[in-house]
Amino acid sequence: MAVQTTFDFDQMLSNAREAYGEELLRMADDGLDFVFTYTDNVAPSSSAGKLIAKYPDRCFNFGIAEPNQVGASAGLALSGKIVFAQVFGPFLSLRAADQIHTDIAYNDVNVRLIGTHAGLTAGGGPTHNCIADLALYRAIPNLTIEVPADAGQCVKAIRKSMEFEGPMIIRIDRGGSPSVYADTNYEYEFGKAIEALPGTDLSIISAGSSVYWSMMGAKILKEKYGISARVIDMHTIKPMDTAMLLKCARETGNVVTVEEHSINGGLGGAVAEFLMEAGFSGKFKRIGLPDKFAVLGDPDEVYRYYGMDPEGIAKQVAELLK
C-alpha cells in the first residue's frame, strides 16, 4: 500500500543539508555517543555548526583535505566510535575514493559518510557536479548506499544508522527540495523500498530528489495521457529491494528509472542489471544525465534541458509506451 504523500509542494520545501545537522544535534542532546568529522564548508550558522559549537570535543574539522578526513574517520571508527562524516559530495567520491574503498569499506567500520550536494550543484559546473558517485559506491563491497527522498527521510536515515553495523553512504542533495511525505510516521527500513504512489501501467523507480519529479511526472501522465504510473522510492540503492522490483515488473510490466546521476552505473544500471538477469521482457528506460559533461546553468534549468523535470519525464514515458 502506498504511503501518504503530498502534491501540495509550494509551501513544503525542505532542506536535507540542514536536517542532518539538526538531527545530529538532537541525538547528541539525547546522549547518543558518536563523533562528527567535517570539511570547511560547514558554516557556523548552520545546524551542523550549532552541533560543533555545543559539542566541540566530539567534532573535528579537516578543512579541505577530504581524503585525510575519510581516513581519519576510519581510524576513529576502529577505536570504537560511531562516526558521522560530512563531506562535499563531488570531492567525497572523486578525491577520497581510495580511502572509501580501503580505509572504510575494507575495514567494514561504522562510518556514515554524508555526501552533500548530490547531482548538479548551483553554478559549479562539471567539476562540482556529483553525478558519477553511485557508480563508484555500487562497486565497493560492504558499502550500504542510502539516498533520502526529502529532509524528513534524511532525519530517519541519520537516526536509524546509529543502530546499523558497517559503513554507509548517505547521499543528499544541495537543499531546498520539496517534501515528498506528508506524514513522516511511515515505516522506514534500510533495504526496503517504499511505494510512494500506486499505479498499474508502469513503475517509475527513483531515489532522492527525483522521487518528487517522478510523482509530478506521474500526475501529468494521468491527467494528460491517461497513463497510471506507480512511483517507487528506492531509497536504498545498495542492497536494493529486489523483491519490490520483481513485484513491479510482474504487476505493471514496464519499468522506468529516474535519477539525478549519470545514466551509467547508477540506479538505472542497478535496476536494469537485476531485471535483465531475472528474465524481464517489458519496456524499460533510464532517465538521468547523459554520458557527457553537463551544460552550465541553474540546476533546475539543466535538469529541464535534459528532460528530467516532471514534464520531461511524462513525455519520455508516454513516448516509450506509445
In the block, cell 570535543 appears at 57
Query: How many whole angstroms separate alpha carbon 238 and alpha carbon 165?
Result: 14
Three-class SS of residue 192? coil
Q: Give yes or no: residues 209 and 107 share one domain.
A: no
Is the residue at 139 inside a domain?
yes
Q: What pLDDT score does 2 carry? A: 58
The answer to whether residue 185 is domain-embedded is: no
Which pLDDT belongs to residue 296?
86
Per-residue pLDDT of the chain (322 residues), as tens digits, is 556 555 554 445 567 678 888 999 999 999 999 999 998 766 665 688 889 999 999 999 998 899 999 999 999 999 999 999 999 888 999 999 999 999 999 999 999 999 988 888 766 788 888 899 999 999 999 999 999 999 899 999 999 999 999 999 999 987 667 888 888 888 999 999 999 999 999 999 999 999 999 999 999 999 999 999 999 999 999 999 999 999 999 999 999 999 999 999 999 999 999 999 999 999 999 999 999 998 888 888 899 999 999 999 999 999 999 8
Same domain, 315 and 200: yes
Query: Which of 131, 153, 178 is a domain's end point?
Result: 178
C-alpha to C-alpha distance for 149 and 298, rounded to whole angstroms: 21
Task: Give me the pLDDT at residue 322, please.
Answer: 84
Predicted confidence at residue 18, as pLDDT, reads: 80
3 inside domain? no
* Residue 312 belongs to a domain: yes
Angstrom distance (rounded) from CA 65 to CA 62: 6
pLDDT score, position 43: 63
- Do both 143 and 52 map to the same domain? yes
Q: What pLDDT does 4 receive?
A: 55
Task: Please report the pLDDT score of residue 300 as a whole number.
Answer: 86
| pLDDT, position 9 | 47
One domain, residues 34 and 155:
yes
Q: Residue 101: which CATH number?
A: 3.40.50.970
Number of independent structural domains in the chain = 2
Catalytic residue numbers, as ranges:
66
168 and 66 part of one domain: yes
Q: Render the burial of 205-229: b for 16+ CB within 10 Å, e for the rest.
A: bbbbbbbbbbbbbbbbbbeeeebeb
In a domain, 186, yes or no: no
DSSP letters along 52-89, please? Answer: HHH-GGGEEE-TT-HHHHHHHHHHHHHTT--EEEEEEH
Residues 89-103, buried b or exposed e (16+ Cβ, 10 A)?
Answer: bbbbbebbbebbbeb
Q: Which residues contact 226 (CB under 8 A, 6 or more apart)?
A: none
Domain that holds residue 294: 194-321
Report the CATH number at residue 276. 3.40.50.920
The pLDDT assigned to 250 comes to 96
